[in-house]
């Protein structure tokens, strides 16, 4: 979306949808330590937002309910500014104009919570800047750049239902996954992804079931998140969330990614919103968000 901010400057707005691992199977480990995965991924209407406008000099700012958990400024360790700089270098090398930009991140998703927050923000930055700069880059080069930023960024660049394999770079679009109503839930406590992988009992687990032969809910019922047991052992609140979502009537409850966010799938968005209201009363200090997939 392109519009105008209050100053009259052209503003490009790009959504950074939450990434949900409906299933995540760890199937092996490479010699370099990277784990091999098979994961069914979808994206939700809930997410962060990237806003870009022309400026005299590059800047980066953050707002939103979880903005104070990220360091503002223009540090090179931020995925948004790293994405900006990588894309600018690539485009400038082909002679395309890449003037300074002010990038603002509205941080609505919990930080380091297994739903792709930072990766989604980086991917949205790449998409948004290409539109804002009216620039072009070869799809393969863009995919390679995304993978440089992180294993989840290529998936988030797609921001549509898909199955990812390898370390996340081998992507197969899924066109027949139905819209799902769900509640996202997080106790707002961090879990260490490296520690979860270290505690994983086995690195060579069975792959995803064959989706072509069964319905999607049966597919989900026959799949799993291999990171959930070690994550739950590290953070017992994950087990508590699973119980709470089940009590609210979720048809399926599972952890996303390496946690601690879990999702409960409900029969309708109305049912999900009722569950969100109930859960907020039960655990007022936790994060709950009713949403649906896109």
Neighbour order of strands in the sheet with 252-255: 252-255, 262-266, 181-186, 287-292
Render 173-228 in DSSP notation, one character per residue.
E-S-PPP-EEEEEE-S----HHHHHHH-S-S-------GGGS-HHHHHHH--BTTH
What is the token pair recorded at 64? 């939103």
CB 105 within 8 A of CB 48: yes
Q: Which residue has the tokens 């010699």?
A: 31
Residue 107: active-site member: no
- DSSP reduced 3-state for 42: strand
Distance CA 128, CA 96 (A): 16
The dihedral over CA atoms of 229, 255, 274, 217, expressed in degrees to the nearest 10, equals -100
Question: Given 19, 107, 121, 226, which residue is catalytic?
Answer: 19
Residue 89: active-site member: no
Question: Given 48, 107, 121, 152, which residue is catalytic?
Answer: 152
Task: List, by residue number, the catalytic residues.
Answer: 19, 152
């Amino acid at each position: 979306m392109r519009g105008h901010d209050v100053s009259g400057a052209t503003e490009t707005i790009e959504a950074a949808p939450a990434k949900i691992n409906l299933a995540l199977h760890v199937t092996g480990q490479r010699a370099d330590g990277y784990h091999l995965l098979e994961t069914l991924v979808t994206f939700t209407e809930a997410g962060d937002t990237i806003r870009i406008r022309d400026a005299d000099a590059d800047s980066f700012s953050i707002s939103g309910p979880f903005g104070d958990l990220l360091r503002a400024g223009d540090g090179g360790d931020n995925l948004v500014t790293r994405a900006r700089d990588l894309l600018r270098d690539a485009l400038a090398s082909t002679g395309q104009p890449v003037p300074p930009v002010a990038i603002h991140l509205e941080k609505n998703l919990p930080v380091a919570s297994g739903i792709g927050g930072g990766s989604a923000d980086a991917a949205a930055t790449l998409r948004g800047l290409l539109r804002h700069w009216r620039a072009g880059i070869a799809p393969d080069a863009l995919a390679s750049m995304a993978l440089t930023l992180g294993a989840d960024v290529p998936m988030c660049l797609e921001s549509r239902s898909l199955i990812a394999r390898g370390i996340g770079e081998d992507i197969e679009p899924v066109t027949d996954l139905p819209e799902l109503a769900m509640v996202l839930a997080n106790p707002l406590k961090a879990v260490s992804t490296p520690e979860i992988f270290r505690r994983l009992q086995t690195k060579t687990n069975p792959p995803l079931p064959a989706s072509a032969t069964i319905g999607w809910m049966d597919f989900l019922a026959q799949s799993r998140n291999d990171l959930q047991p070690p994550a739950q052992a590290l953070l017992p609140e994950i087990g508590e969330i699973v119980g709470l979502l089940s009590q609210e009537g979720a048809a399926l409850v599972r952890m996303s990614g390496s946690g601690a966010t879990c999702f409960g799938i409900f029969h309708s968005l109305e049912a999900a919103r009722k569950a969100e209201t109930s859960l907020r009363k039960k655990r007022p200090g936790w994060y709950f968000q009713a949403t649906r997939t896109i």
